[in-house]
Amino acid sequence: MILRDPVHGLVSFESDEDAILVALLDTPELQRLRRIRQLGLTSLAYPGADHTRFSHAIGAAFVMTRLVRRLRTIHDELPFWQRLTSERARDALAAALLHDIGHGPFSHLFEDALSDAPSHEEWTTRMLLDPGTSVHAVLSRFDSTLPARVAELVRGRHELTYLARAVSGAFDVDRCDYLLRDAHFTGVSYGSYDLDWLLRSLRFGLSRSPNEAPPLAIDGAKGLPAIESFVLARLFMFQQVYFHKSSRSSEWLLSKILGRVRTLLLDGNRVPGVPAAVAAIALEGDAPLGEYLELDDGVLYGAVSAWRNAPDAILADLSRRLFARQLFKTYELYAEQSEPAGRVRALETAREIARNSGLDPEIYVGLDVACDVPFDDSNEPLTVIFPNAVERKPGDVSFLLRRLRGERVERIRLIFAPELRDQIVQALGQ
């Protein structure tokens, strides 16, 4: 199988080991990812960002094929029982392709909005282990213990440390692909880094104990720029895209909508057009796998469309706003306003204004805290390894990473209905 991918160019799955990828791509669980956008509602801010989890899954699997090839050029230095056999390569490829199949509509948003819902990782595990899924059937066809092995690997657990980290770690194939992909489709060029160089710079570190396979490492000072630029790409993508005010406010709005639906359902109201899985999760905190698999962006968007005419005025109002992209506005809190006490005061002020305008302050005003630590090597097993077999932490070697280590990027914002904007800006500020 050969595909054209706008990020990686020619993607070919043609080797014997790749056969599992081709078989898995045809399953309905994977095809469902075609209907789930990688970046949720971000395309409301970046009109190109309509790429799906399906293309990302292919990309992650492709990066894994390249990583496997790289590791094999160097794995002779390992004892033979720690090398990358065909079986282990197959595990890794399957895990890379399947690592995200559990995502609900609009990716992370769904699980965040219905907070006691099973996480997407939980759904991934179910899809892998449930004998009724096609994914399970395909994996089992190759090896009856494969579903369980892949489920473990997706969670970052594998006898070979280096393989576990390649699926789930600070520089895993998931991140390797999504940074490039999100950058390509949003048009934010800052998000690029040098994947060729990163792969070329990988080698094995030192084993922690005689029987344990070593983690991945970076090949001397030469490889540092590759991970420096990777970390910076991530930092920029957070600042520019993942924390973008329109992304955050539209996600916030959808989350309020789903919350409202749940409240209405729990209060015994009938809400038209609620997909079965949403109703089940809202009422019972869980849903049958079959129902969950029916969910996708289109289904949920169709529900929002229907809710525009819901009897509940608030649900109808919120749904109409989202559907027509009349997003809530934001007001960023800096300096003292962003301190805990300042946030509370600012939120209270804004809620008071909402109350006076006749809007429910719990729904039409909120506080949004977005934060990330772009780089922290305190618990990261990836080291930089020098010719004399000395290992050092990246932050100890890199000028840049030392200065970023453990530092936290934070964006704190009030989110509110646009009609409240003038009053809130005047009350708060500058």
Chain residues binding its own copies by CB under 8 A are 2-7, 9-10, 12, 26, 28, 31, 34-35, 37, 43-44, 46-48, 50-52, 54-55, 58, 184-190, 192, 194, 196-197, 200, 221, 225, 228-229, 232, 235-236, 239-240, 294, 297-299, 301-302, 305, 324-325, 332, 386, 388, 390, 399-400, 403-404, 407, 409, 429-430
Is the distance from CB of 98 to CB of 173 less than 8 angstroms?
A: no
> Considering the complex, what minimum distance in angstroms separates the CB of residue 149 from its own copies?
26
Which one, 142 or 190, has the nearer CB to its own copies? 190
Which one, 30 or 213, has the nearer CB to its own copies? 30
> Considering the complex, what minimum distance in angstroms separates the CB of residue 28 from its own copies?
5
Distances (CA, A) of 416 to 165, 248, 333, 334, 365: 40, 12, 14, 17, 4
Q: What does the alpha-carbon distance between residue 193 and residue 181 come to, in Å, rounded to a whole number? A: 11
Alpha helices in 161-274 (DSSP H): 161-167, 173-186, 195-201, 224-237, 245-266
Distances (CA, A) of 58 to 28, 149, 181, 354, 424: 15, 20, 11, 46, 45
Residue partners of 214: CB distance under 8 A and separation at least 6? 78, 82, 161, 162, 204, 205, 206, 207, 208
Tokens of 121: 């990782």
> Considering the complex, what minimum distance in angstroms separates the CB of residue 151 from its own copies?
24
Which one, 149 or 184, has the nearer CB to its own copies? 184
Which one, 7 or 353, has the nearer CB to its own copies? 7
> Considering the complex, what minimum distance in angstroms separates the CB of residue 47 from its own copies?
4
Which one, 105 or 361, has the nearer CB to its own copies? 105
> Considering the complex, what minimum distance in angstroms separates the CB of residue 217 from its own copies?
17
Which one, 294 or 360, has the nearer CB to its own copies? 294
Q: What does the alpha-carbon distance between residue 283 and residue 115 come to, in Å, rounded to a whole number? A: 12
Is the distance from CB of 404 to CB of 413 less than 8 angstroms?
A: no
Instruction: List 383's β-bridge partners, or say none.
Output: 217
Which one, 50 or 362, has the nearer CB to its own copies? 50
Q: What does the alpha-carbon distance between residue 294 and residue 75 come to, in Å, rounded to a whole number? A: 43
> Considering the complex, what minimum distance in angstroms separates the CB of residue 184 from its own copies?
6
Determine the 3-state secondary structure of 172 from DSSP: coil
Q: Please name the helix (run of DSSP H) or strand (run of DSSP E) that holds residue 414, with its range, or none.
A: strand 409-416
**Paired sense of beta strands 391-392 and 383-385, if any:** antiparallel
> Considering the complex, what minimum distance in angstroms separates the CB of residue 20 from its own copies?
18
Residue partners of 238: CB distance under 8 A and separation at least 6? 370, 372, 374, 409
Which one, 59 or 361, has the nearer CB to its own copies? 59
> Considering the complex, what minimum distance in angstroms separates the CB of residue 81 from its own copies?
26
Determine the 3-state secondary structure of 10 from DSSP: strand
Which one, 134 or 263, has the nearer CB to its own copies? 134
Q: What does the alpha-carbon distance between residue 199 and residue 171 come to, in Å, rounded to a whole number? A: 10
Total Cβ atoms within 10 A of residue 143: 15
> Considering the complex, what minimum distance in angstroms separates the CB of residue 148 from its own copies?
26
Which one, 187 or 285, has the nearer CB to its own copies? 187
Using a 10 angstrom Cβ sphere, with 0-12 exposed, 13-18 middle and 19 or more buried, the burial of residue 312 is: middle
> Considering the complex, what minimum distance in angstroms separates the CB of residue 219 from its own copies?
10
Tokens of 131: 């004998």
